[in-house]
């Protein structure tokens, strides 16, 4: 399968494009959510009203990104295992997963109420800023993989 993906005239490009679209979908929706947490976007909307519909689409984008990323990895596993940009991108994705888990397990419960206490709002803002920085790193390192 890896050889077929690598040598196919169009399939690798289609999967790569699908991967980019998955990243755009996921990172774009997460950016909207993060900007809401920071009070920059949709400040009058309750967080659950923003997170509930957008969260589902972020998971769709993540699923597309994950499946296409695994296919891309299968096609170039030997090269990617020696690629520093790829290793760093994977580390940032793990950090994003941890940030999301902590946000869901600890922070989100406190901000579900509109009158969240200040320490909870600070944790939510920190989580949002960290998420934005990590996603930026994932995108930049994704591009750097081709040149590393």
- In tens, the pLDDT along 56-74 reads 899 999 999 999 999 999 8
Residue 56: what pLDDT?
A: 87
Residues of the chain with pLDDT under 50: none
Residue 141: what pLDDT?
A: 96
Residue 52: what pLDDT?
A: 83
Residue 104: what pLDDT?
A: 83
Helix H or strand E segment including 71: helix 47-80
pTM (predicted TM-score): 0.86
Residue 114: what pLDDT?
A: 53
Residue 7: what pLDDT?
A: 76
Indicate the SS3 state at residue 67: helix
Q: To 10 degrees, what angle do helices 11-37 and 47-80 make?
A: 140
């Amino acid at each position: 399968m890896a050889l077929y993906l690598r040598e196919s005239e169009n399939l690798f490009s289609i999967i790569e494009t699908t991967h980019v679209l998955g990243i755009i979908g996921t990172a774009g929706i997460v950016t909207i959510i993060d900007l809401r947490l920071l009070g920059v976007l949709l400040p009058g909307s309750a967080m659950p009203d923003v997170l509930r519909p957008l969260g589902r689409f972020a998971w769709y984008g993540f699923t597309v990104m994950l499946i296409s990323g695994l296919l891309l990895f299968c096609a170039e596993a030997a090269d990617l295992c020696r690629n520093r940009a790829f290793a760093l991108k994977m580390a940032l994705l793990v950090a994003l997963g941890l940030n999301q888990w902590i946000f869901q397990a600890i922070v989100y419960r406190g901000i579900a109420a509109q009158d969240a206490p200040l320490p909870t709002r600070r944790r939510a803002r920190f989580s949002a800023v960290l998420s934005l920085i990590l996603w930026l790193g994932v995108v930049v390192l994704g591009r750097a993989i081709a040149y590393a």
